[in-house]
Structure formats: C-alpha cells, structure tokens
Structure 1
Amino acid sequence: MNPTVKIDHVTKEYRIYRNNKERIKDALLPKNKNKTFYALNDITFNAYAGDVIGLVGINGSGKSTLSNIIGGSLSATKGNITRNGEVNVIAINAGLNGNLTGMENIEFKMLCMGFNKKQIKELTPKIVEFSELGEFIYQPVKKYSSGMRAKLGFSISVTVDPEILVIDEALSVGDQTFTQKSLNKIYEFKEAEKTIFFVSHNLSQVRDFCNKIAWIEAGRLKAVGTVDEVLPQYETFLKDFKKKSAQEQKAFRQQLDENRFIIK
C-alpha cells in the first residue's frame, strides 16, 4: 500500500537574531555563524488511507509546525513531504481573512482551493448551514470569537471533502453541541478511509478517535505507533511532568529548548 502522506527526514530551521545588525551581517556574509532554532529535526514517518494520527506533545514541541508543513502553509528547510490527494487544514484561523465577512471568506478560501464559481455557489448553502453562524455569516471575521472562527473554518473544510485532513486544536473551542457535531462529521471521514492528522491536548478525544500516535518532543519524533503502543507512554510522561513544581517544569522546558539551538 502506498502512503497518502510521506514525511521524509523533514527539518524546519529558523535563524535567530537579537537585533537588525545580526540580521544584516547574516545576509551579507554567507559563512557567518548564528543561532539556528530547530522547530522540527529529522521527522520521518508515513500515513496511509484510513490512518487517523494523533500528533501529541507538550506546548512548543513542534506539533503545529508539522501540521502546517503537512497542510502546505509552511515549507520544510530540509527533507521532503509527499501528499497523494487534496489536503485541507482545520485550525481556528487557517486561511481566514479578518477583514472579510464570513460569506466572503467562504468564497475566498474556496477560490484559493481551486473551486470555480459554480461549485462555490452550490456548496455555500451547505457550509453556512453546517456553521450555525446565522446572521453572523455576514459580519467581518475579525469580530468573531475564537469559537465562531473555528466553526467557519471547520464548516468550509469538511464540506469540500478533502482526501487528507489536518485538524489543529479546532475542536478545543466553541460550544459542546457543535464539537460533537464536528466529531460526528470527522467519524464519517474516518469511515470513508481518509487520512487525518489530529493535533489535540484532549487525550480522551485522541484515544477515542485516533488509531495511531506520533509523539513530538522538542522538535523530534519521540515515538510513533498504534494508540495502544504510544499513548500509555505519553500519558506516563505527562503524569510525571505534572508532578514537577512550576520551577521544575520551566527548567525542563528550557533544557529542551536549549538542545534545539545550534550555532551554524
């Protein structure tokens, strides 16, 4: 079976500058050494049709960076990612323009995704109905709450029916009724054997929904495998982490971050 998403030694680097002088020096001198931060470092694994992969890790681990690379809004510094099918990202602000109304955002986002005017006209009523935004669909998105943004983004993404879906904390906001409605829709995608990447801190949802886990720690792939294999390991780590004092947790995070900086 060929993978629907192949992540091959993907690395994402960011050069770190303390001031404009360092930035200019780096631009003018090709061999200049400066701090490089590894948001992701040599990530490799495959996803197949029917895989629902939970991307887990503490805040700042690199989950959203990876999901953005899978979705195509970020490019890898090194390595390759191959996607066999249309990809759509569901995140609170993914692809939404705050100055446009909800209705205008539907047309704008769908045009960016390659839909024609006729297709957009046919699908828009379904998107509006699913979103439950009512008259707010005609208001600028910058006036929306985070829950309303999530509703709009989710409604657009699931209605256009992509082969590969990336969900980044989009179900962590909004009312419980819409969350359950959204989960039901995602279960339909799961049954249709689409490939889904699910970024969430809600381990109950991860356990119920996913069949695989990719645990990201400090930009590296700590573990990947079935839910039964990896989730207990991550839960044990979280339990131990939460037992630490606030100062100990801070020191742990700082140590992880220090290991992600390299002078090059």
Structure 2
Amino acid sequence: MAESVILKNVTKKYRMYESKGQQLADLIFPGKKGSTFNAIEDISFAVEEGDVVGLVGINGSGKSTLSNIIGGLIPASSGEVDVKGDVNVIAIKSGLNNALTGAENIEFKCLLMGYTKEKIAEVMPEIIEFSELGDFIYQPVKQYSSGMKSKLGFAISVTANPDVLIIDEALSVGDQTFTDKSLAKMMEYKKQGKTIFFVSHNLSQVRNFCTKIAWIEGGRLREYGPTNIVMRNYTAFLKDYNQLSPKQQKKFRDDLAKQRKHK
C-alpha cells in the first residue's frame, strides 16, 4: 500500500499573553513578553491508503489541532505535512456560515470545492436528502442545533468524495439513526481504500471502525499502531485516570500543560 499521509516532526506553537500590554510589548521586543504554548510537538507517523486512523486522547491533548493541520485548515509552525489527494474535514461546526440558510451554505461550500453551477444543481438534492433536514434546509443556520449543523456539514463533505476524510467529533451529536447512516457511508469509503482520520471520544466506534490508533497526550504522540494494541493501552490509562479524584485529574492536566508552555 502506498502512503497517503506523512507527518514529520510536526509542531504547532501559539503565543500566549496575560494582557494586551504584553502582546504589544512582544510585537516591539519579540520573545521578551508572553509565553509559547506547544499545542502539538514533534509528531511523526505515516498513514497508508485505506487506513482508518483513530485520534484519541483526553480533552485538550491536541487531537483537533493535529486533524486541522492534516486537513489544511491551519498551518504547522514547523515540520512536514504531506497529504496526497483531496482532503475534507468534517467537524461539529463544519465551517458553516450562520447568516446563510442551509441551502445557501451548500452552494457556498460547493463553490469553494470548485463545483460548477451545474454540478451544484446536480448534487444539491442528494445533499439535502442525506442531511435529513427537510424544510429546515431553507432556514438560517444560526437557528440550527449542533446536531443539525453536524448533519449538514457531514452531508456536504461526503458528497465531495475526497481522497482523505477527517471526521472530528462530527458523529458525537445528533440522533443515532443519522450516526448509523454516516458510519455506513464511512464503511463504503473504507472499502474503497480511502484514508480516514476519526476523532471521537466514543471508544466503541473507534474500536469498530479504525484500523490504527494515534494516541495523543499533552500534545505529543504517545503511541501509534494497530487498534487492538493501542486501544488496550489507552483503555488501561483511562481506567486509571477515571479513578483519580477531580482534583488529581486537574493536577494531571495542569502538569501536562506546564510541560507544553515555555517562557
């Protein structure tokens, strides 16, 4: 199998300030004020065509940052990201414009994907049907629930039929019927040999759907490999973590955050 996504020493840094004054001072004297936070740091792994990679880790570990970098939504601060083919990101908000109706969002996003007016008219009914939004498709998206937004974003993205698909918690909201239908669509893509990244806290879905797992902890890659091996280790970690008191869990997260922050 050919490699479809290759990450080499990928790092994403953000500057953090305690006040506007610090931010202004840092512009005049770079590096003198504020601190640097490593959202992800020195991550390397390769993904083959047809792999379904689950990105797991506790909240704030860097999963969404990594998926957004792979999807081309944000740039890495350093390192190399090589993605072969078209890529599409499906997140809960899905980059929808709240001021537009669902139908207008379909047209807008399809135009961004390079569709002609004729092609948009062809796929519009298919997208609307898959979304299950009915007459709500003609209402402003600002009136949608998070589940409805997820349905619309998912319907648009799967119709685009990308080579690499990134699903970031998009199946964590909404009804079970739509989730089952979406997972069935993902299984079709899996059989077609497409590369899929799956970010989810639903460990049952991750186990059943993914072939490999990338476990992110504190912005770093803790483990990458076959689902049965990595999920066994991650599940054991979660068991120990969940047995900690809320105060101990917070200390664990704070200690990880301190390691990622540099003056």
Provide the TM-score with structure 1 as the length reference.
Answer: 0.98
**What residue in structure 1 maps to residue 152 of structure 2?**
152
> In the alignment, is the contact (CA less than 8 A) between 2:52 and 2:198 conserved in 1?
yes
**What residue in structure 1 maps to residue 71 of structure 2?**
71
CA distance in 1, matches of 2:167, 2:256: 26
**What residue in structure 1 maps to residue 194 of structure 2?**
194
**What residue in structure 1 maps to residue 241 of structure 2?**
241
Deviations 1:223-256 (A, max 9, x none): 0000012110000000000000111111111111
**What residue in structure 2 maps to residue 32 of structure 1?**
32
**Are residues 90 and 31 of structure 1, via their aligned partners in 2, closer, same or farther at CA, if it must alter by over 3 Å?**
closer
**What residue in structure 1 maps to residue 137 of structure 2?**
137
Q: After superposition, where does 1:73-222 map in structure 2 within 5 Å?
A: 73-222=73-222
Shift of 1:118: 1.4
Look up the SS of the partner of 2:10 in the other structure.
Answer: strand
Shift of 1:31: 4.8
Shift of 1:127: 0.3
Deviations 1:46-69 (A, max 9, x none): 111100000000000000001111
CA distance in 2, matches of 1:141, 1:80: 36
Deviations 1:84-122 (A, max 9, x none): 110001111122101100000001111111212111111
CA distance in 1, matches of 2:113, 2:11: 26
CA distance in 2, matches of 1:209, 1:220: 23
CA distance in 2, matches of 1:183, 1:232: 23
Amino acid at match of 2:246: A
Amino acid at match of 2:252: F
Q: Which residues of structure 1 form unaligned runs of 5+? A: none
CA distance in 1, matches of 2:212, 2:116: 36
Amino acid at match of 2:172: S
Post-superposition, which runs of at least 4 consecutive aligned residues in structure 1 deviate over 2 A? 30-34
CA distance in 1, matches of 2:204, 2:96: 29
Look up the SS of the partner of 1:89 in the other structure.
Answer: strand
CA distance in 2, matches of 1:139, 1:25: 46
CA distance in 2, matches of 1:95, 1:72: 13
Shift of 1:25: 1.1
CA distance in 2, matches of 1:220, 1:229: 18
Look up the SS of the partner of 2:238 in the other structure.
Answer: helix
Q: What CA RMSD, in Å, does the superposition of the two structures yield over aligned residues?
A: 0.9
Provide the TM-score with structure 2 as the length reference.
Answer: 0.98
Shift of 1:30: 3.1
Shift of 1:33: 5.0
Task: Determine what percentage of the aligned residue pairs are the same residue.
Answer: 59
CA distance in 2, matches of 1:110, 1:77: 29
CA distance in 2, matches of 1:32, 1:23: 10
Shift of 1:7: 1.1
